[in-house]
Structure 1
Amino acid sequence: MNIGEIARRAGVSRSTVSYALSGKRPVAAGTRKRIQHVIDELGYRPNATARALKEGRTRTIGLVIPPAGNRLTHMQLDFVASVVDSAAGADLDVLLSPSGGDHDRSFERLISESRVDGVILMEIRMEDARVGRLLKAGLPFVGIGHTADDQAMCWIDIDYAGLIRHTVRHLADLGHGKVALISRSPELVAAGYGPAIRAREGFTAAVSERGMEGVEVACGDDARSGQETIEDLLREHPDLTAVTTVNEAALPGIQRALDEAGLNVPRDFSVTGVAGQLWTDDFRPPLTAAHVPAIDMGEKAVSLLIERIAAPQTPPRHILLAPPISLRSSTGAAPAHRARGAAPSPGGPGSATRA
């Protein structure tokens, strides 16, 4: 039994239940009575970890997000919504703080001015100065993602390397000899953004393992960039028959470009990757993909942070998720009529190049 169930049965929000329990904010007498009735009926008692948080200094956690000018993806917004909702369920407020570029001062204030009891960090790079700063400050924190040297931090992440490797193997089993990885934006790739770098590692390994030709391209996080990327790939690599991607926001553009090129999915061209379920369901036909459980990851990140705040000396926990790849209708056998007669790429079989 948890606050969410109490809220559902009492017909109120999770935050209203939290305020009624903590007395942190006023709740109407009738509403408080209804909530108390449900609590008494269910025999609810707050767990020990939640009670320990009541000794915190601020009852607020920080969520470090990318700058708003970067246009948060749907997946990133799911992370934010999940963290905020889960924190409210634990009677915690969330302070959003952008980081990067001109926003580094906001991140520093979050740490140095004792505004929060702990931090959840998004968009982590392989080498990330923010992680070092948090470790130095001794402030409890959890990463949605992790650095190359990850043993000192607590994190939850997706196995992008393993999942992309599996999608390429799937395409190889279908007879595709040349495949492209559509990655994230050039800026994120250049900055060492963890999912993009690990996706590259998995892609390169699978291409080499199966003796395929591979092309990696950076792509902006939007539909227009996805469309332009496919147009460029089809023009420069006419023998290309499949792509895999970690860029869900590019998927509508990928589909538009293939439609305009007169290519049927999956008869003429296959598409697969790692993305949120909303994007995979909207793709036509539905996308063969591993679904990123962003809502669940946000909830787990809050739980991990609560543990760190309550017991900061415990060893950091690492959660690496590998959701199954749902085989749907966007992948099919390689079209021999397109591959035949196409000139081989300069790299030759078993090579991966970057466009």
Structure 2
Amino acid sequence: MNIGEIAKQAGVSRSTVSYALSGKRPVSDDTREKIQRVIDELGYRPNASARALANGRTSTIGLVFPPAGNHYTGMQLDFIGSVVEAAAAYDYDVLLSPSGVDSDRSFQRLLGERRVDGAILMEIRLLDDRVEHLLAENFPSVCIGRTAQPEDDWWVGLDHTALAAACVHHLADLGHRTIAFVNRPERLLRAGYESAHRGLDGFTKAAAERGLTVHTYTCEDDAPSGQTCLERILRDDPATTGLVTLNEAALGGLYRGLAHAGRHVPRDFSVTGVVAARWAETVTPQLTAADVPAAEMGRLAVELLVERLDQPDASPRHQLLVPPISLRASTGPVGTAAPVSLVPDPHT
């Protein structure tokens, strides 16, 4: 089925059908309705490439999301799903591009061939060549995350600095004096991943404010690495009674390491961190954590990109989210004989 057949059935010219579909020129309501009836009867679906040529839009957005390692973590898949779902609500398809550093060929094709109307970038680095390139090209894009100088960018971010600090203060308020920080893998820290750096910064500054003894670690994104990391924590300083983590993929291994060491959570050891709610609730006891709002962040990123596409001259906008710590069952006062119920102070 093509435009010529629709024109024949509707008794109009091919150009009239084209104008009715693209909106480039006015068509009377009666003619438009006649054409639409034929389209509905024949089940016509315009070719995506032809539609893009006609109206300058592909109705597709790119999600530039390189896996941090050799696989996507559960949290990363949550973000991908949230962007796809939010885009569908605006009648956009999503093209996933696993482009990494140095603006590789996949990334260049995405832009150079105009396969998408705009892009959402994830796994943001403090110095990110992809963001700089898009800014120079004036290509519509939104970041989930922040660069070191985010003033000129469109982005939605999570305040890892404030959240890691809040976790430290929570443990300090419970009497913990020696705590550890379990970060993302070393290679991501070296690459400048903003969440890893900002989380570490918030942890160290808050610990210094509270006069705590701390040890910081990097950990691969998997459970066996989490268990190995926990064993190292206890070997380095057996007096450690709590930890903060940004690494949800290693969480199960951290718990397993504590169990093998005979440390009861939370009676002997408290665990907290910045983790998506559904992962915090899969461990036993459930994790006290600043829940990463993946669905909300994906939705906000799509909304910002659609706004930018509809208003090309709009000034950059951004949103920084600071979700509260959800008090569950993995943290408690030092030396308690049994788990305690933690009730948040409504005045803080």
Question: Shared topology, TM-score over 0.5?
Answer: yes
Deviations 1:310-337 (A, max 9, x none): 1121111111111110112111112399
> AA paired with 2:206?
A
Q: How big is the shift at 1:73? A: 1.1
Q: How big is the shift at 1:67? A: 3.9
Residue 120 (structure 2) pairs with residue 120 (structure 1): yes
Deviations 1:103-147 (A, max 9, x none): 811011111111111000000001101000000111100000010
SS in 2 for 1:189: helix
Q: How big is the shift at 1:70? A: 2.7
Q: How big is the shift at 1:250? A: 0.6
Deviations 1:154-188 (A, max 9, x none): 00111111011011011111111111110001111
What is the distance in 2 between the residues matched to 1:233 and 1:28?
68
Alignment coverage as a number of residue pairs = 291
Deviations 1:213-246 (A, max 9, x none): 1111111111111111001111111111100011
What is the distance in 2 between the residues matched to 1:137 and 1:130?
11
Find the structure with the greater CA-based Rg.
2
SS in 1 for 2:152: coil
**What corresponds to 1:303 in structure 2?**
303
Q: Equivalent pairs: percent with the same residue? A: 53
Conserved? CA contact 1:159–1:320, under 8 Å: yes
> AA paired with 2:268?
D
Residue 248 (structure 2) pairs with residue 280 (structure 1): no
> AA paired with 1:162?
A
Conserved? CA contact 2:68–2:123, under 8 Å: no
Conserved? CA contact 1:111–1:137, under 8 Å: no
SS in 2 for 1:282: coil
What is the distance in 2 between the residues matched to 1:252 and 1:102?
33
What is the distance in 2 between the residues matched to 1:178 and 1:57?
56
**What corresponds to 2:203 in structure 1?**
203
Q: How big is the shift at 1:29? A: 8.9
**What corresponds to 1:212 in structure 2?**
212
Conserved? CA contact 1:189–1:197, under 8 Å: yes
State how 1:50-65 maps to structure 2 within 5 Å.
55-65=55-65
**What corresponds to 2:329 in structure 1?**
329
TM norm structure 2 = 0.79
**What corresponds to 1:265 in structure 2?**
265
SS in 2 for 1:70: coil
What is the distance in 2 between the residues matched to 1:28 and 1:204?
66
Conserved? CA contact 2:140–2:305, under 8 Å: yes
What is the distance in 2 between the residues matched to 1:194 and 1:267?
33
SS in 1 for 2:189: helix
Structure 2 unpaired stretches of 5+ = 1-35, 44-53, 338-348
**What corresponds to 2:142 in structure 1?**
142
Conserved? CA contact 1:66–1:122, under 8 Å: yes
Superposed CA RMSD in Å reads 2.2
Residue 95 (structure 2) pairs with residue 95 (structure 1): yes
Alpha carbons of 1:180 and 1:56: their partners in 2 closer, same or farther (altered >3 Å)? farther
Q: How big is the shift at 1:209? A: 0.4
Residue 169 (structure 2) pairs with residue 169 (structure 1): yes
**What corresponds to 1:188 in structure 2?**
188
State how 1:106-117 maps to structure 2 within 5 Å.
106-117=106-117
**What corresponds to 1:157 in structure 2?**
157
Q: How big is the shift at 1:57? A: 2.1
Conserved? CA contact 1:226–1:250, under 8 Å: yes
Alpha carbons of 1:27 and 1:201: their partners in 2 closer, same or farther (altered >3 Å)? farther
TM norm structure 1 = 0.78
> AA paired with 1:332?
G
> AA paired with 1:137?
E
What is the distance in 1 between the residues matched to 2:336 and 2:92?
58
**What corresponds to 2:292 in structure 1?**
292
Residue 76 (structure 2) pairs with residue 79 (structure 1): no
Deviations 1:42-93 (A, max 9, x none): xxxxxxxxxxxx9542111110011486311111111111111221221111
Conserved? CA contact 2:265–2:285, under 8 Å: yes
> AA paired with 2:144?
I
Q: How big is the shift at 1:99? A: 1.2
Structure 1 unpaired stretches of 5+ = 1-22, 31-53, 338-355
Conserved? CA contact 2:183–2:245, under 8 Å: yes
> AA paired with 2:126?
M
What is the distance in 2 between the residues matched to 1:56 and 1:217?
49
**What corresponds to 1:349 in structure 2?**
none
What is the distance in 2 between the residues matched to 1:304 and 1:333?
42
Conserved? CA contact 1:308–1:314, under 8 Å: yes
Alpha carbons of 1:178 and 1:57: their partners in 2 closer, same or farther (altered >3 Å)? same
Q: How big is the shift at 1:101? A: 5.8
